[in-house]
Structure 1
Amino acid sequence: MPTSDAEGKDWSLARFEQHLPDTVCDVGPGEGTYAKLFRPVHKGVWWTAVEIHKPYVAKYKLKSTKTRTMYDEIHTEDVRDSAGHLFHRDLVILGDVLEHMPREDAVALLERIEAAGAWHILASVPIVDSQQGTVDGNPHEAHVHQWDPDDMDTVLAQLGGGVESMRGDTLGVWWWSRRG
């Protein structure tokens, strides 16, 4: 769904405050949960969004307006087809996104993000059985893969760098950092 469970958001915010990235790519922002949460903490951040479902851009007012800015740049496309330069950011957020694609596509995406030069990756996925189909006419909301938290630990560890995680009752959240 274009919304996100509140679980893990305080944990994510604490990591954001610790690192204070200046450039962020929010993949699958939906209603803009992370931009709303993080923007007040660190002003002057360049926010890029990659949203596959074009109706969400207008519905959730993701584009910049004279009175409110959520994202500075929006790409309406499947992130698996996005140009690599979009991932050359201080932080790439994959908030409740990876369960919407086959596991092999999610792993390949994480590898592309790391290879493109991302300094940090914030990923959250349901860690309980979470069946979901089309929502509000959006077929991209269907859950295609059910992630096991140990599997996500392994996938992120294989990228190198360091990984922190938080496992809640419903969501698991990971913060991967490049060592450099």
Structure 2
Amino acid sequence: MPTSIAEGKDWSLRIFEQQKPDTVCDVGPGEGTYAKLFRPVHHGVWWTAIEIYKPYIRRYGLKNTAKRKDMYDEIHNLDARVAPEHLFHRDLVIFGDVLEHMARGDAVDLLRKAETAGAWNILVSLPIVEAPQGEVDGNPHEEHLHHWDASDMDDVLAELGGQVQSMRGETLGVWWWSRT
């Protein structure tokens, strides 16, 4: 779904406020959950979005319009797995409820791609309970293709090196990986 439950958002916001990134790449923003949450607390941040499903860009107002302030400074309608590496060279790359929508190997490769490209921090949020989901509102990319176990994500992020903090809720697990 292009939305996310509230679980872990306050925890993520506290770390965001501590880190104060200047550049953010939001992968699969859907309705822009993280931009809506983070943008008001830290101004002057350059926000990039990579959204695979073009109808969401208009439906959720991700692109700038003359009537309202931009949610994102730049938006790319493409699959993050084939996105140019420079889009991941950011202070923070957000994978908010997106990695479960691809095969595990693709998700791991995408996390490695972000780290290799120079992401300073990576935020991951995903279901840690069985959460089957198919196509939603005509978007085939909403299907859940892999069920993540929290300890599996712990291991994947540990392999990247750096430091990892995590929060486990009843439904979602949230991880903040930092290069330092």
Q: TM-score range by the shorter chain?
A: over 0.9
Q: Is 1:158 paired with 2:170? A: no
Percent of counterpart pairs with the same letter? Answer: 72
Q: Distance in 2 between matches of 1:50 and 1:100?
A: 14
* 1:11-160 correspondence to structure 2 within 5 Å: 11-66=11-66, 67-160=68-161
Q: Distance in 1 between matches of 2:154 and 2:35?
A: 25
Q: Distance in 2 between matches of 1:98 and 1:168?
A: 17
Q: TM-score, normalised by structure 1?
A: 0.99
Gaps of 5+ in 2: none
Q: Distance in 2 between matches of 1:120 and 1:10?
A: 17
Q: Distance in 2 between matches of 1:56 and 1:139?
A: 13
Amino acid across the alignment from 1:162: Q
SS of alignment partner, residue 47 of structure 1 = strand
- Kindly state the Cα deviation for residue 143 of structure 1 after the two structures are TM-superposed: 0.0
Amino acid across the alignment from 1:121: I
Q: Distance in 2 between matches of 1:5 and 1:81?
A: 28
Q: Distance in 2 between matches of 1:5 and 1:159?
A: 27
Amino acid across the alignment from 1:41: V
Q: Distance in 2 between matches of 1:43 and 1:64?
A: 17
- Kindly state the Cα deviation for residue 65 of structure 1 after the two structures are TM-superposed: 2.4
Match of 1:167 in 2: 168
Q: 1:127-164 deviations in whole A, cap 9, x for unaligned?
A: 00000000000000000000000000000000000000
- Kindly state the Cα deviation for residue 68 of structure 1 after the two structures are TM-superposed: 1.7
Q: Distance in 2 between matches of 1:111 and 1:26?
A: 16
Q: Where do 4+ consecutive residues of structure 1 move more than 4 Å?
A: none
Q: 1:5-25 deviations in whole A, cap 9, x for unaligned?
A: 100000000000000000000
Q: Distance in 1 between matches of 2:69 and 2:2?
A: 20
Q: Give me the CA root mean square deviation.
A: 0.5
Q: Distance in 2 between matches of 1:156 and 1:9?
A: 19
Gaps of 5+ in 1: none
Q: TM-score, normalised by structure 2?
A: 0.99
